[in-house]
Structure 1
Amino acid sequence: MNLNTKQFEAVTTTEGPLLLISGPGSGKTRTLVERTIYLLTEKKVKPENIFLSTFTEKAARELITRISERLKELGHKINLYEMYIGTLHSIFLRLIDENIEYSFFRSGYRVLDDVDQQFFIYSRIKNFSELEGYREFFRDIPANNSWERSQKILFWLNKINEEGRRLDNLKTENKKILFLKSAHKRYHEMLVEENIIDFTTIQREMYRILHNEEVLEKLKNKMHYIMIDEYQDTNSIQEKIIFLLGEKYKNICVVGDDDQGIYRFRGASIKNILQFPERFEQGVCKKINLDINYRSHEDIIRFCNRWINLINWREFRFRKDIVPPADSSFPDYSGVVRIGGDSEKKWKDNIYKFIKNLKTTNKIEDYSQVAFLFRSVQSSNVKELKKHLESLGIPIYSPRSKDFFDRSEIKLVIGALLVYFPHCKYLILDEVQNRGNRIFDYYKECLTLLKKVIKNDEELYSWLVEKRKENSYETTLFIPSFRKIFYSLLQFDTFKNFIKIDINNVKEGRETYNLGVFSELLEKFERLSKVEDIQKDDVEKVIKYFFNVYLKNLYHKKIDEYENKEEFPLGAIPFLTFHQAKGLEFPIVIVGSLDSTPAFKEKTEEDVLCELLRLDDNFEPRDKKSEFDFWRIYYTAFSRAQNLLVLTSIENRSGKNELPSRTFRSIYESIPYVTDEKFKLENLNVETLKKVEIKPLLSYTGHILLYDFCPLKYRFIKDFKFKPFYSKDTFYGIFVHRVIEKVHRDFLANLFDNNLEEIINDIGNSLEKELKTNFPVEIREKVRYHISNYLENSNLEDIVATEFEAYSIEKNYIMIGTLDLVKKTPLGIEIIDFKTGKFDKSRFEIYKHQLEIYAYLLKDKYSLENIKASLYYIDEENSKIEIDLDSSNIEKSVEKFDIIASELLKKNFPPRKFDDKCSKCEFNYYCMIKEES
């Protein structure tokens, strides 16, 4: 295992509650990997009896990859996809899906992100304004307009959900609380009606489902071992769910570091980790400190210890002392230094000189070995530093700078959309009506830039002029959707030049990635407004809503550029927030924002309301919270450094604003400058960036078929995240699959009572809203007829699983698949994939390969002679076609999968030869022009 004594103890202590306090660089991930391996191989625990959660999807995928590789090394064949592994949100979603028949939500629900969620509330603000107490609520809680009121409502709804607070039984005469009580109820009803769910409601729904005795008993019996990483960042309702799931076996292992609890603003409570041992009888919970830091230079370790001990934590911190490995030796240089300057200019110049010196002396091979960390990357001096370094040839990667709308590619698209609609002049660009409005000034900037650029693109100019004329005519019944217009623009050089097909670096290809983000914003608008192609009579209303409401509010909200959360691009220095850097490490870390100081907040009306609703975390003294949070967030930042930690600040002792602030002055002045001979730059040894091995997940239907059809289309959709259109031909198939899945799930849960018509109408009504389509009576009757036939000719008693996920670890990727249905047979199992429409010989081979891949995915659980495979054509009279599973054919299908996967992973994305099939593709204009040229 190659573990130290405490790590080994953590791995082998499996029974009963365990608290692992894991300091920076203490090998937490390795410990979790080996603990999971130990449970699976030594303790013979079934994967479906293990619950393992991490803070990010990236961390979850890293765990899956590392556990899989270790199992392979040890010669064990175990289906990890049966294990509950992922973020808490993703695991809760899986549990909701597995118990969907007990949920308010229906199969196929959509998850809202924060932009969706706020627009959802904003577009329904009238519903909230009609509730009792609305006026009283906003009388004392400032909000200038409907958008800001929707932000406030969103904040409170999320906070109530994060605390798991029930308001329905709350007795009160307080108008503000009555409003929140009604708003929470109304909001939940809206979500259920639309079959959509947000992140905090995921938790609340999971918690509610666990109050069903049957579900709770089933899941308590299932979750033998629970491991929760980053436990200091869990909130109240997550803790409640974890303890409900672990109630029977009490084998709950939580891992974290109270010194790095920095997510209070998201509802996290440090109380969860500090009071974890007290949740059990005295002496039952074992506590192990992983206190050896394998990451950092000993000076950095000492500095972090010194920083965290500068204040009196009383009982609100576990006492610990992080140490370097006993047998380690470190190069002779100061591991913690400072860069200053008595003016902003000198400060920026000194930083530049230091970085340039690192590069010219070959101390760093790549700029990405250095990372800047700030409390915010949007402050003026950080933006000025970024500009200064870039102007001197040092590339910066700063996705959270909130300057998405300042990018040229975005301004040009918006400018083109403004010109496309002749109505914009008097609806949007009326100078008298909009003078002084920031969004109006922004739109003028977009048009000014377009006018400048369009001089060199006559084809774009002619096209826009022609379209403008067309859209002015009364005879035009429909105008294409914003997304269709957007994709049409890709045929012209102005926009085609932003598409960097051969670039695999997010920074170098940022224009392309940002256009992908813009396509997502357009797709959200179409979904939120329920408008695609625009009827002529509705043009003015739609345009006003798009420009004066949707884009305006996104502009004020500020949108981040595309961010690759998997890794940072080579060749650029990351400018990150402290929160972005959580869980990461860099050879050289430069920490700014030393002008800050912990500030005590006066009690606000919102604080009073929190107390009345018992939403306030009173665990820590109110007058200490800001100080504790301040120390934790800088400790988290400082401890990211491996070889060198640099503190940086403009230095100014005169005037009101002393720099650095008094909070940092003594500790800042106690370390040498980078120019000081004590530093000994010549002895600095900078490690290369650690490459985290995360294998991509590839499926036959979601990846291989798309790449095989057109590698370039794959690139646009999967890599650049452009949002595709979905053909209405597929809607019927979605409808049928949802109904079949619901029938199967209900049957497995003993809830199916031949209420097929009710199921069809429920799912049909839900899909009509989700897909913005109609399923008339004849379509619903068709679905009922065919599924009734299926039920008459099928034995549901044989069902083993529906929507079953299987996977196989390959050399460079993880092959995954979701099987529609698994049934038991006398010899083993049968896998069935459902198809709609008539039998199509040209598609048959594709479907056959799909089932052969599924059979391969089950190889570790069943031998080939025990697996049957069938296609079920729901619309056909002779519905079922059995596929002959032959080992040589399966081998060929897997080989073909691997060949395509290899090309895909090589980032080889040639366009297909342009033909008739390309005419319906979103990117046909782009490809057609390329083909001609």
Structure 2
Amino acid sequence: MGLNLKQRKAVETTEGPLLIIAGPGSGKTFTLVERIHNLITNKNISAENILVATFTEKAAQELITRVSNRLQEEGIPFNVNEMYLGTIHSICLRILEENREFTRLKKNFIVMDQFDQQYFLYQRIYDYKQLPDVVDLIGHNTSRWKAAELLLKWINKVSEEILDIKQLKNSSNPKVKAIGYCYELYQQHLKDENALDFSTIQLEAYYLLKNHPQINDQLNEKLHYLMIDEYQDTNTIQEKIIFMLGGKLQNICVVGDDDQGLYRFRGATIRNILEFPKKFKDKTCERVELSLNYRSHPSIIEFYNGWMNQHNWSYKGKYFRYNKQIEASQREHPKGKSVIKVSGSDGLNNWEEEVYEFLIALREEGKLTDWNQVAFLFQSVKNNKVIALANYLEERNIPVYSPRSNMFFERHEIRLLIGAFMFLFPQFPHIRKWKEDAYLPEWELYDQCLREFGTELRKSENQTLLEWCRLHAREHMGLTKNTDYSFAGLFYQLLQFNLFKNYLEQGSYNVRDSRSARNLSLFSKILTKFEYLHRLTVFTPETINYQITTFFNHFLRFLINGGINEYEDKDEYAPSGCVSFLTIHQSKGLEFPIVVVGSLDKTPTKQYSELDEVLQDKYYHKEPFEPLEYTKYYDFWRLYYTAFSRAQNLLVLSCQENLSIGQGTRNVPTKPFVDLYDTLTSWRQVNNIYNLDIEKVRKGSIKREYSFTSHINVFETCALQYNFYKELNFSPVRQGATLFGTLVHQTIEDIHKSALRGEEDKIIKGNIEEWFSANYNNLIKKERIFLAPQTQRAALKQVLQYVKKQNNNWTHIREAEVDISLVKENYILKGTIDLIQGKDNTVEIIDFKSEKKPDLVKEADMMYHYKRQLEVYAYLIEERTGYQVSKMHIYYTGEEHSNPYVTFSKDTSAINQTISTFDRIVKRIEDKDFTIKNRPTRHCRNCDMRFYCNENE
């Protein structure tokens, strides 16, 4: 497909500001790919001069894949790391990491997700309750967890709107004042823990650019062209960062659709896209409207155009929408009804039956070749009626993929795991109450899980598991000495028994068949996250009861209440063999042949409080834009427009008409839908829907990233280990040996970067010890493990020994910790490399090992392995930078007496052979071939999966 006229204008308008209004199905990503291609090929712009921000990591990966494939077609090399391409959060994080010494952040800083952030506040909630007027903000009798949730909302709002803390603290409004004091304390807590949350990633980046103009200037000199996707969902701070990065050139291209602005609840403001042209003088902002839809049947387009046109978007002379009409492309479309209704009849409560019979009819008519051609979209998939429909379909052999349905703790494998932990800690029922009449509803779930586990234990095939559990339960009940494990360690031991092992032996890696294994993997993450947040490594007699009650009464309870999403495949958004149940938000940017839109019982609801109004009126940097009282309508209309426009061939509106509630009924569909809904014909009265051609789901095509150390090394060591840790993403228990090497390497990196800055005079013992100590303190917070004092001294000794041997001569250091990538035909090869100056304008590669130099004869296999790693790095350097590599070194920092170097000459034929081997291994990984001939017994003792593997022999 070539560019249409408007797409071509969007591609070729490169200088100055550009607004691209991209309607649904209008080829937005295709246009972005062609725009990047045009900049690189026709305008000779380097990849490092381009910044592209996407809304999700998945969108970034797809864009990287499509851009690299497009450039590869013409033989143009492309380094992913050169282009600033990712989400705005990931780009801000990269800027912070590249300039960390100018921020409050130290090495190994922690990035918290939303649950981590709320739990972080919960653990410190008493500190916040001591601050002025906080009770007015969070309420008098609010639970600690709910108080943390309320604080989280206001703290993130302060970051996203860049509110003035002093102004908040000086407010006469008690709640506003409380927000100011809480935010100030929160910032101190973040600093103490060397932590960031998603909002403060952006805030730290903003202050870095604002307070250090030289860094902003450097980025302006580098970044000449900016492209921001989904601009309608950006917030205040993101807009400021984008314009700062745009510099004087202001070659800022924003892409989006104001009609699909869905994220006000995350601080997004539709004003950013509606007011974008006004940011520039003399109407210099070009505007291109992509309104030709290549996705949907014309009748579907007519339907959702009608939905938007029936509403009033004006208020006091302002219009809160770009006036546009989406048009169908000129390709031929089969005749037939493409917008219908599939609903339960008034008074019959037969919605589930109607939906099921509709799906079966489509399949029997040969219109469906895979259930994944159908997607159901709802406001929430956690609604009881939605869950009931999913269960109804699954009971009748129509599998449902609904990862956000809050069903994780209902899965049999997870209930058995909870039951197992209840059995292993028999003291919990006696210690869980903190006062006589205490009660938590989650205890009923735990007890039920224990009964289900007990039922399994009584089966003869589980006698070995029963004996093992009884032994550990007795030990835990009267613990007299420290264990060498905690929750995660017990979890991995449980996997050796058939009751759990069977879940790991899935027949395939598709989402449906591997769901149980991936749920076990997710449970491993839950356990390691708890241990990380509580600095827990082993059970002790003094703390075991506290850790048990904290885990069940707090951590696990909050996850159950808040919900936890099951596994979602990043590459395959509509897994084969399943109908999809998604939220409308979740479906954004996706398309499906058949879309069934539910939640027709909803009405516009107010999303803001009085305190929101106070903050917006008096403390935001801008005057209010949309009238607050109308935002609930605008957001509602945009939400369902997004849902309707996902459909390619058939759009279905579905509900239980006039829903029975108690003694009465509720009008369904509700008033906003009635006019259009009443024009639709029931599927039972429309024969020509079977004339429609139902397309297949578009397959994802994302290139994965692979590195020697993180992927090839793991796979070659043990393909089974790769399967568990890399493919299924089990969370391993950390190992101390890794910490030692990381600590040595990071401190040497500090030394090298000091030398590269021309600060050789700072490379003295006192500073080195300070760098070492800072690295260690932040590493142990992140990794949850500690080194004994003598081990710390040994690590520091290696660093000081390295410095001594350099004799204060650092002229050979060329670059430190260089991230480099190479896009290959089927994957992206990545590595991190240290370079030193070679002879005749060549470079040499050096890799550090924190151990003594091995016997080169007895350890020949190890040396060959290290040599191949260096060959991969040499290949990356030569292919991507044009440098010639002359030598490759391993430096053993633990070597005290002999020459610490092992040096290899570069051998091009050997490098090519290594890369061919790399290619073959990547193909095995992509083919899900994780078979092994023999177990690597040398490595098994440090692998958490050893218990499982031992029983499989």
Shift of 1:743: 3.2
Once the two structures are superposed, the pairs formed by residues 116-127 of structure 1 within 5 Å of their partners are: 116-127=116-127
**Are residues 1:442 and 2:441 paired?**
no
Match of 2:162 in 1: 164
Once the two structures are superposed, the pairs formed by residues 654-673 of structure 1 within 5 Å of their partners are: 657-673=666-682
Q: Distance in 1 between matches of 2:800 and 2:942?
A: 34
Which segment drifts farther, 203-212 or 727-736? Answer: 727-736
1:918 is matched with which residue: 940, 944, 947? 940
Match of 2:176 in 1: 177
Shift of 1:919: 2.8
Match of 1:323 in 2: 327
* Contact 2:835/2:843 (<8 A) preserved: no
Match of 1:852 in 2: 871
Q: Distance in 1 between matches of 2:623 and 2:552?
A: 41
Render the CA deviation track for 1:711-740: whole Å, top value 9, x for unaligned.
Answer: 111111112211012211121111112222
1:819 is matched with which residue: 817, 827, 833? 833
Indicate how the Cα distance of structure 1 residues 638 and 746 shifts in structure 2: closer, same or farther if over 3 A, else same.
farther
* Contact 1:333/1:683 (<8 A) preserved: yes
Indicate how the Cα distance of structure 1 residues 540 and 610 shifts in structure 2: closer, same or farther if over 3 A, else same.
farther
**Are residues 1:580 and 2:592 paired?**
no
Match of 1:547 in 2: 552
Q: Distance in 1 between matches of 2:726 and 2:607?
A: 45
Match of 1:928 in 2: 950
Shift of 1:685: 0.3
Shift of 1:42: 1.0
**Are residues 1:870 and 2:868 paired?**
no
Q: Distance in 2 between matches of 1:358 and 1:532?
A: 55
One-letter amino acid matched to 2:714: L
Render the CA deviation track for 1:395-454: whole Å, top value 9, x for unaligned.
Answer: 11111001111111111111111111232231138997455x311111111111111121
Once the two structures are superposed, the pairs formed by residues 612-627 of structure 1 within 5 Å of their partners are: 612-614=618-620, 618-627=624-633
2:698 is matched with which residue: 674, 690, 696? 690
Match of 1:402 in 2: 406
Q: Distance in 2 between matches of 1:718 and 1:866?
A: 31
Q: Distance in 2 between matches of 1:611 and 1:722?
A: 48
* Contact 1:607/1:616 (<8 A) preserved: no
Which segment drifts farther, 762-771 or 37-46? Answer: 762-771
Match of 1:80 in 2: 80
Q: Distance in 1 between matches of 2:481 and 2:795?
A: 36
Q: Distance in 2 between matches of 1:785 and 1:22?
A: 59
2:823 is matched with which residue: 809, 812, 817? 809
* Contact 2:877/2:885 (<8 A) preserved: no
Indicate how the Cα distance of structure 1 residues 256 and 759 shifts in structure 2: closer, same or farther if over 3 A, else same.
same
**Are residues 1:681 and 2:686 paired?**
no
One-letter amino acid matched to 1:758: E
Structure 1 unaligned segments of length 5 or more: list them: none
Q: Distance in 1 between matches of 2:837 and 2:259?
A: 50
Structure 2 unaligned segments of length 5 or more: list them: none
Indicate how the Cα distance of structure 1 residues 873 and 351 shifts in structure 2: closer, same or farther if over 3 A, else same.
same
One-letter amino acid matched to 2:776: G
Shift of 1:210: 0.2
One-letter amino acid matched to 2:455: K
Q: Distance in 2 between matches of 1:205 and 1:749?
A: 23
Secondary structure, counterpart of 1:902 in structure 2? helix
Indicate how the Cα distance of structure 1 residues 119 and 246 shifts in structure 2: closer, same or farther if over 3 A, else same.
same
Shift of 1:609: 4.8
* Contact 2:79/2:823 (<8 A) preserved: no
Match of 1:500 in 2: 505
Q: Distance in 2 between matches of 1:700 and 1:269?
A: 43
Shift of 1:520: 0.3
Q: Distance in 2 between matches of 1:308 and 1:729?
A: 61
1:637 is matched with which residue: 624, 628, 643? 643
Once the two structures are superposed, the pairs formed by residues 671-820 of structure 1 within 5 Å of their partners are: 671-677=680-686, 680-749=688-757, 753-754=762-763, 755-775=767-787, 782-791=794-803, 793=806, 795-797=809-811, 799-820=813-834
Which segment drifts farther, 633-642 or 793-802? Answer: 793-802
Indicate how the Cα distance of structure 1 residues 799 and 88 shifts in structure 2: closer, same or farther if over 3 A, else same.
farther
Shift of 1:864: 7.2
2:456 is matched with which residue: 447, 453, 460? 453
* Contact 1:159/1:267 (<8 A) preserved: yes
Shift of 1:681: 2.5
Match of 2:151 in 1: 153
Indicate how the Cα distance of structure 1 residues 461 and 433 shifts in structure 2: closer, same or farther if over 3 A, else same.
farther
Q: Distance in 1 between matches of 2:890 and 2:386?
A: 59
Indicate how the Cα distance of structure 1 residues 732 and 916 shifts in structure 2: closer, same or farther if over 3 A, else same.
closer
**Are residues 1:466 and 2:471 paired?**
yes
* Contact 2:230/2:257 (<8 A) preserved: yes
Indicate how the Cα distance of structure 1 residues 601 and 851 shifts in structure 2: closer, same or farther if over 3 A, else same.
closer
Match of 2:517 in 1: 512
Shift of 1:876: 2.3
* Contact 1:517/1:722 (<8 A) preserved: yes
Which segment drifts farther, 66-75 or 164-173? Answer: 164-173
Indicate how the Cα distance of structure 1 residues 804 and 128 shifts in structure 2: closer, same or farther if over 3 A, else same.
same
Secondary structure, counterpart of 1:680 in structure 2? helix
Match of 2:350 in 1: 346
Shift of 1:143: 6.3
Q: Distance in 1 between matches of 2:328 and 2:556?
A: 52
Shift of 1:56: 1.2
Q: Distance in 2 between matches of 1:419 and 1:809?
A: 50
Once the two structures are superposed, the pairs formed by residues 242-321 of structure 1 within 5 Å of their partners are: 242-314=242-314, 315-321=319-325
**Alignment RMSD, CA only?**
2.2
Render the CA deviation track for 1:296-326: whole Å, top value 9, x for unaligned.
Answer: 101111111111111121221111111112x
Render the CA deviation track for 1:328-352: whole Å, top value 9, x for unaligned.
Answer: 2210101111112224642211111
* Contact 1:24/1:639 (<8 A) preserved: yes
Indicate how the Cα distance of structure 1 residues 684 and 262 shifts in structure 2: closer, same or farther if over 3 A, else same.
same
Shift of 1:107: 2.2
Indicate how the Cα distance of structure 1 residues 84 and 297 shifts in structure 2: closer, same or farther if over 3 A, else same.
same
Shift of 1:254: 0.4
**Are residues 1:358 and 2:356 paired?**
no
Shift of 1:203: 0.4
**Are residues 1:906 and 2:927 paired?**
yes
One-letter amino acid matched to 2:149: Q
Match of 1:61 in 2: 61
One-letter amino acid matched to 1:926: Y
* Contact 2:659/2:667 (<8 A) preserved: yes
2:384 is matched with which residue: 353, 362, 380? 380
Render the CA deviation track for 1:759-807: whole Å, top value 9, x for unaligned.
Answer: 2222222223223344566555555544345445275455443322222
